[in-house]
């Protein structure tokens, strides 16, 4: 198997090639991406196993035909755990010293993570798939570009652990859409209309709507609601602002409208979310 040495250093000394018969592996010494495709990972199926590296699992939960929720968890090195069966996930393993050096850029101490759950922006899949694609191509100097991508992915993970998921959203390659994205994120609490966003790029509303949805997969108003909800989540975690005040600060107009949007898109009420992540 290609790069079995670095793979073993990340997963564990007892790993065998047979354990990975159904898993696609893409690795550098500091970071590996493991995706089960034809069946379960044999090593992950072992009860109470552990890794010498940090393990991040990103799983997919299909809420409806239009919505998929991306759930992530992190487990520190040498903490025994048992993985759930299934195929709809990416497993990242990040070398211990590499991860900790970067984590300490953001915090004074590194907690022991034992399956700690955190929210993550779906756009990270683009970064992961870019890493996978670059690894698969084996282009000249790919080690340099893969190391650069590993750096970005690691910082993205750390920021997400700290609650900064919305800031990692991918920016459109279309400038008119990117400009609207930036405007929404800066003025999300204001009364934003499609006509106002279209005027920023000097195009018609219909043209702007079409371009925005083609680039992002959602309408400008849906994007605005997502940004408002991400900001609201951050405020809810602080537990110092009332739900009504958060609704006003995030541009919802009323606590009832805020609660309704939050329940429909997150699956729980703002109060339940606050209790879950702070309690």
Overall residue count recorded for the chain in this entry:
279
Residue 171 scores a pLDDT above 70: no
Residue 70 scores a pLDDT above 80: no
Residue 88: which pLDDT band, with cuts at 50, 70 and 90? confident
Residue 132: which pLDDT band, with cuts at 50, 70 and 90? very high
Q: What is the pLDDT of residues 97-110, one digit of tens each?
A: 999 999 999 999 99
- Listed by start position, the domains of the chain span 4-168, 175-278
Rg (CA), the chain: 21
CA 20 – CA 29 distance, rounded (Å): 17
Of all residues in the chain, the percent with pLDDT exceeding 70 is: 91
Residue 68: which pLDDT band, with cuts at 50, 70 and 90? low
pLDDT at 131: 93
Mean pLDDT of 271-275: 88
Minimum mean pLDDT range among 162-166, 223-227, 256-260: 162-166
Residue 35 scores a pLDDT above 60: yes
Residue whose pair of structure tokens reads 């970005």 in the numeric block? 152
pLDDT at 201: 79
Average pLDDT, the chain: 87
Per DSSP, what are the bridge partners of residue 31? 28, 94
| Assigned CATH class of 175-278 | mainly alpha
**% helix, strand, coil for the chain, step of 5:** 50, 15, 35
**Complete DSSP assignment for 42-64:** TTTTSTTB--SSEEEEEEEEE-S
Residue 168: which pLDDT band, with cuts at 50, 70 and 90? low
Closest CA to 184 of 156, 150, 218, 214: 218
pLDDT at 29: 96
């Amino acid at each position: 198997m290609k790069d079995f040495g670095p793979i073993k250093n990340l997963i564990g000394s007892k790993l065998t090639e047979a354990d990975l018969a159904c898993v696609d592996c893409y690795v550098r010494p500091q970071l590996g991406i493991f995706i089960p495709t034809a069946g379960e990972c044999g090593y992950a199926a072992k009860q109470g196993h552990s890794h010498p590296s940090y393990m991040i699992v990103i799983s997919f939960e299909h809420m409806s035909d239009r919505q998929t929720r991306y759930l992530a968890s992190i487990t520190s090195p040498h903490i025994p755990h048992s993985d759930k069966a299934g195929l709809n996930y990416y497993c990242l393993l990040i070398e211990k010293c590499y991860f900790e050096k970067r984590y300490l850029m953001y915090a004074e101490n590194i907690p022991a993570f034992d399956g700690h759950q955190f929210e993550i922006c779906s756009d990270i899949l683009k970064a992961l798939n870019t890493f996978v694609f670059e690894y698969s191509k084996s282009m000249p100097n790919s080690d340099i570009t893969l190391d650069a991508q590993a750096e970005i992915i690691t910082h993205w993970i750390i920021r997400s652990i700290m609650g900064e998921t919305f800031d990692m959203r991918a920016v459109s390659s279309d400038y008119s859409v990117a400009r609207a994205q930036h405007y929404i994120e800066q003025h999300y609490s204001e009364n934003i209309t499609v006509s106002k966003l279209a005027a920023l790029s000097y195009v018609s509303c219909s043209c702007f709507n079409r371009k925005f949805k083609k680039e992002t997969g959602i309408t400008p108003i849906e994007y605005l609601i997502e940004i408002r909800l991400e900001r609201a989540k951050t405020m809810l975690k602080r537990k110092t602002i009332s739900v009504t005040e958060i609704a006003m600060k995030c541009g919802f107009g009323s606590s009832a409208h805020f609660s309704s949007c939050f329940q429909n898109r997150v699956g729980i009420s703002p109060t339940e979310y606050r209790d879950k992540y702070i309690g």
